[in-house]
Amino acid sequence: MEQVRFESKLLHPEVQSIGRQEMQEAVKQPKVTLPYYTKYEQVTLIGTRAQQLAEGAKPLVSLDGMMTSDPRFVWNVAEKEVYEHKLPFIVHRRLPNGTSEYWSAIELTAIW
Domains of the chain, earliest start first: 2-104 (3.90.940.10)
Average of pLDDT values for 62-67? 90
With 90 as the cut, is the pLDDT of residue 15 above it? Answer: no
pTM for this predicted structure = 0.75
38 beta partners = none
What separation in angstroms does the CA of 74 have from each of 17, 18, 45, 48?
A: 24, 27, 13, 11
With 70 as the cut, is the pLDDT of residue 9 above it? Answer: no
